[in-house]
Amino acid sequence: MELELDEFCRCLELPPSTVERWIRQGRIPVKRIGEKCHFSDSALKKWAEEHNLPYHPPGEEEAGDKQAEKPETLSEAIGRGGIYYDLPGETVEEVLSEAVSAMKGIESEEDRKTLYESLTARENMMSTGIGNGVAIPHPRTPLTQSNIEPQIAVCFLEKPVDFKAVDKKPVYVLFVLVASNSKQHLHLLSRLSYCLRDSSFLNFLSGIPAWETLVKKIVEFESRLNEG
């Protein structure tokens, strides 16, 4: 079977950066030729089951994606999730617990508990530390059964924490991403990744900008993305 990379990522509900890295490392039973991914549907399904990952064959619609929805912007998602400073914690679990407790876009304690457990389970499977002091904690699969609206909480830590990131640098800022379906998740993740791949944005971020300045910068980068 042959799919474009973005289609292949949707099948696995994984961000392109993760899929590309796993392909390079030979961890996924797939061969990439240009922007095309060549694989056996049955082999990939078996691999996903063995690694406790979701797999949706091409053309299979998820129930949560059937309803048309307006794509979220980063500024909307961050506005809902909030921006927080000096988040305490010595370990990954502690800072994730503090982040979930702080997030203003979650109403029930049950939803907070579900989110925290989902975030820690994802970290135990593989670090969400992407390098340059940044981590993007997110549930392994979208929280379709919760009442949490799509959001991103930006959390600047009181002191850097070892997330076992790819570049081994401690993390000083979290972008906690929550979505109710995979399409929404990949949409927000791709827009966030666009910002975090830019060295000028990373330099800006390292200065721990005030929330108004950060939101303004996000809007500026999204405008560039929309124009492109």
Segment 143-182, tens digit of pLDDT:
776 778 889 999 999 999 999 998 999 999 999 999 888 7
DSSP strand pairing (2-4 vs 83-87): unpaired
User: What pLDDT is attached to residue 17?
Assistant: 78
Segment 88-105, tens digit of pLDDT:
999 999 999 999 999 987
CATH among 3.40.1130, 1.10.10, 3.40.630, 1.10.287 for 2-57: 1.10.10
User: What pLDDT is attached to residue 104?
Assistant: 86
Whether residue 225 is predicted with pLDDT greater than 80 in this model: the reply is no
Q: How many CB atoms lie within 10 A of CB 207?
A: 9
From residue 23, how far is each of 19, 30, 97, 216 by CA, in Å? 6, 7, 32, 36
With tokens 């390079």, the residue in question is 24
Query: What is the DSSP track for 109-155?
Result: HHHHHHHHHHHHHHHHHS--EEETTEE----SS--TTS-PPSEEEEE
Whether residue 228 is predicted with pLDDT greater than 60 in this model: the reply is no
Where are the domain boundaries for CATH 1.10.10 in the chain?
A: 2-57
CA angle 131, 38, 44 (to 5 degrees): 75
Q: Please tell us whether the domain made up of 74-227 is placed in CATH 3.40.930.10.
A: yes
Q: Are 134 and 163 in contact (CB under 8 A)?
A: no
Written as one letter, the residue type at 43 is A
Residues marked active site are found at 138
Segment 40-68, tens digit of pLDDT:
888 888 888 777 577 777 765 444 444 43
Where are the domain boundaries for CATH 3.40.930.10 in the chain?
A: 74-227
Q: How many CB atoms lie within 10 A of CB 90?
A: 11
Residue 140 vs residue 59, higher pLDDT: 140
Q: Which residues pair with 151 in a beta bridge?
A: 178
